A and B are shown apart, each in its own frame.
Chain A
Amino acid sequence: MASTVPAAPTRPRTLVVASAFGTGSVVMYFGCLFALYFSIRHDAMAWGAQWYPEGAIQLVPGGMNMSTMAMSAITMGWAVHAVLNDDRIHAMIAMALTAVLGIAMVNQTVFYFKDIGLPIDASEAATLLFTIVGSHMVMVAIGVLWLGLLLLRALGGQDTSRHRDLVSAAALYWYASVAVYSVIWIGIYIAK
């Protein structure tokens, strides 16, 4: 007797939708800080005032962090691809690597904050710098915690192509954190 196997119901991508809304709000948060930063900086420059003291902002730490975040975007994409293909081992390796790169980024930022020689209350520029970069560090730290949770799920065999939403949702958030850092890198570290 021929039997027809019913098609698996299409799961609404609830987690991805929720992640998109949450990430959107986070992006608005950084959008506000960037708008304030560039607006105040523009005014200061227009008046001929010094924004940062000469040599206060080094290009190397920002560049290193940008490279780290760019690599993490690739490993995150690898994780999504591996989960889609039910490749559990590669998914775990990719997520672990992404988390390690995130931790490295947080570590580099903390080191730079200690080394910068620019007190947080030195000027409006310094307060904004610490607020923006510090907020991004928190964003990355939350992403690392999320990835830790995903790793635990992957160890339990739950991250499969049928249950890939949590990985896709985390990836969306992670890509947003990389995008936010690119603005920090170009707008703060390079343009100073």
Chain B
Amino acid sequence: MTTTDNAAASDSAPTALEQAVTTTDPVALARVWGFGGMTSILLGAVAGLLVGLERLDLASADVFGSADEVFQFWSAHRVAFVLLGVLPALMALATTVVPRQCGGSLVFPRAAAMACWTWLVGAGMTVAGFLVDGGLGTPGGGGQREATALTMMGLLLAIGGLLLASVCVMTTIVSGRAAGTGLRDLPYTAWTTLVGATVWTGMLGVLAANAVLAYVDLRGRPAVRFGAEDAIWEQLSWMFTHPAIYVLALPVLGIALDLVSSATRTEQANRDVLLVATAAFGFLSFGAFAQTFFDTPGTPVAEEAISVVAAFAIVPVALAIVGGLADTLRRGAGNLGSKPPAEAVCSVLAAVLVLAATAVGAVRVIAPLELLDTSVTGAHFALVLGAVVLGVGAGFHHWGEELVGPKGRRPGLFLLGGLAVAGGTVLVGVADLVSGLLDQADFTGVDLATAGNPDSGVDGLNLVSLVGSLALLGGLAIWMLTGSLHTAANRKGAA
């Protein structure tokens, strides 16, 4: 071999960065989705904690400089959880576990890689936009317009990436599954991912339309209406409330059904009922119609029959799914042993939290109570998203060997983190629910009028909610540590 040969060989060897960016390996990309998503959830939890701190004194701005800054963090908390956190984390499982469950491999791997990096760039731009005084508008118009435009552009890229990845996943399930496998034969995770992805693909298209309209109006000239600083969030807010957020919980219910079945080594009875119930849950989660910003004179859309009926109808549907889960647990209890798997425990807790969230969602729409703008909405969000985070974490732990490797799993540490996440979610949910019943506003701002001029008992509840946020953050930090140790153990093993 000559010197020239050596030089040529070293020139052609891709660097680690080149390998990372050009890979089409779904497992490698799933790590980007998963790590990026869980980091966003952690950042969102930090934003939520800071807003909770500010809420301890409802009459003044102590942590932030103004109500607009509080709003930026308050909205960042929701965006980070939904579009930058939970959906990408679900995509990590959807692009790796689901194709295997279908007996095939992910179709369009290059498109999936493009989707992943597009989402990552968009997520980075969105976070940067929030940090440089942008975000999705502010009630007082105190943000930077250019930074708001950056946030919108980042959000559009993130939506684009999620849409493209969803198309790859849905096509894999519909067209790329093993011959002879019908849709009814699919495991629940794959089935609920198909239903959920179909619904959120439709909703993300609508969200993109809202964002484009606001962006077009925002850029370069005084806004006519849609791009006004105080109008942007309300146009997009339907994605972060009832019924749209339920769609995030759907794959988590599928994960719970699969994990419990695996832990108890017992097949779910009434499979067709569960398939129909999960499909109905997805159908009832379609929330693109509930755009409060475009309310016409008359009954607001959130109080229209379609919203109210959907809020109530989803409770028995969730009850049927959790009932199926309970039935499997009952029949397979003998196989669980004295130490049931940590991921099964977390997924069952997640399913129960989803059921509790649907009940809170139903209470929220009871017209005489007038709870739509109160912190009951925040409690509903916290319960649904807490459940989803718990379920996704359970999925990551269960399928961790496929995503990271066989060594270094720490079920005890994982369970501790999961219990902290569940406990934190319950504390935040219950405290905000009661505060809402006492008329505390969803977005409290920094003065008593915006906060809903609540009774004095709310201060104590806000403290409980803050403790819940701390527990949630602690649980997420434990999970990040567990994941890092798991990854490090396998890297060391590989080296």
Asked if B225 is at the interface (CB within 8 A of a chain A CB), the reply is yes
Q: By the criterion of a CB under 8 Å from any partner CB, how many residues of chain B are at the interface?
A: 36
| Interchain CA distance A121-B220 in the complex, whole Å | 10
Q: A12-B176, A17-B175, A39-B296 are in contact. Are A25 and B167 (CB under 8 A)?
A: yes
- Nearest CB of B to A155, in Å: 22
| Contacts A/B (CB < 8 Å), 5 sampled | A21-B167, A24-B202, A24-B205, A42-B296, A121-B222
Asked if B226 is at the interface (CB within 8 A of a chain A CB), the reply is yes
| Interchain CA distance A30-B210 in the complex, whole Å | 10
- Interface pair B167/A18, CB less than 8 Å apart: yes
- Interface pair B167/A32, CB less than 8 Å apart: no
Q: Which residues of B contact A (CB under 8 A)?
A: 107-108, 163-164, 166-168, 170-171, 174-176, 198, 201-206, 208-210, 212-213, 216-217, 221-226, 288, 294, 296-297
| Interchain CA distance A26-B201 in the complex, whole Å | 9
| Interchain CA distance A17-B107 in the complex, whole Å | 11
Q: How many A-B residue pairs have CB under 8 A?
A: 94
- Nearest CB of A to B260, in Å: 30
- Nearest CB of A to B295, in Å: 10
- Interface pair B175/A39, CB less than 8 Å apart: no
| B222 contact set on A, CB distance < 8 A | 121
- Interface pair A28/B171, CB less than 8 Å apart: no
- Nearest CB of A to B468, in Å: 35
The interface centre, meaning the residue of B171, B202, B208, B222 with most chain A CB atoms within 10 A of its CB, is B171
- Size category, A interface: 20 to 34
- Interface pair B226/A127, CB less than 8 Å apart: yes
| A39 contact set on B, CB distance < 8 A | 294, 296
- Nearest CB of A to B291, in Å: 8
- Interface pair A18/B171, CB less than 8 Å apart: yes
For the complex of A and B, the 10 pairs showing the least CB-CB separation, nearest first, are A28-B205, A32-B209, A25-B205, A32-B206, A29-B205, A18-B171, A17-B175, A12-B175, A14-B175, A28-B202
Q: Which residues of A contact B (CB under 8 A)?
A: 12-14, 17-18, 21-22, 24-33, 36, 39-40, 42-43, 120-121, 123-124, 126-128, 130-131, 134-135
Q: A24-B202, A25-B163, A25-B204 are in contact. Are A14 and B176 (CB under 8 A)?
A: yes
* Minimum CB distance partner of B213 in chain A: A131
The interface centre, meaning the residue of B167, B168, B176 with most chain A CB atoms within 10 A of its CB, is B167
- Nearest CB of A to B98, in Å: 15
